[in-house]
Amino acid sequence: MRRVFKYPLRPLGQTAHTTIEVPGQPTLAHVDMQRDQVCLWLEVEQASKPVAYSIEVVGTGHPVPDAYMHLGSVIDRQFVWHVYQDLRKDQLSIKK
């Protein structure tokens, strides 16, 4: 059975890297701000084994490596944050 779960990312201003453990290969449902924190909502198959995914949050105008896959962008007052999966570190990609 599939379910949608929220995965909060590291608070902005700290390191932009977050590793999340997700059952199997998830499908992206949504990216947004909630209570001043960037979050991912992913549809997952709960019966699957957990897999680690490397997520990066990058500010507008900052470099984006070629191996990053864009998942979504969020507006945080005067800032825009862009959420990527680092494909260099992960065996599977998040489905869009």
Domain assignment present for residue 19? The answer is yes
Question: What are 42-95's pLDDT values in tens digits?
Answer: 999 988 899 999 999 999 998 999 999 999 999 999 999 999 999 999 989 999
Question: In 11-93, at which residue ranges do the beta strands (DSSP E only) sit?
Answer: 17-23, 27-34, 37-45, 50-59, 68-76, 79-86
Number of domains the chain contains: 1
Domain assignment present for residue 66? The answer is yes
Q: Which domain holds residue 39?
A: 2-86
Over the range 47-69, which residues count as b (16 or more CB within 10 Å of their CB) and which as e?
eeeebebbbbbbeeeeeeeeebe
Domain assignment present for residue 92? The answer is no
Domain assignment present for residue 61? The answer is yes
Task: Report the predicted TM-score, pTM, of the whole model to 2 decimal places.
Answer: 0.91
Domain assignment present for residue 94? The answer is no
Question: What are 15-32's pLDDT values in tens digits?
Answer: 578 999 999 999 999 999
Domain assignment present for residue 53? The answer is yes
Domain assignment present for residue 74? The answer is yes
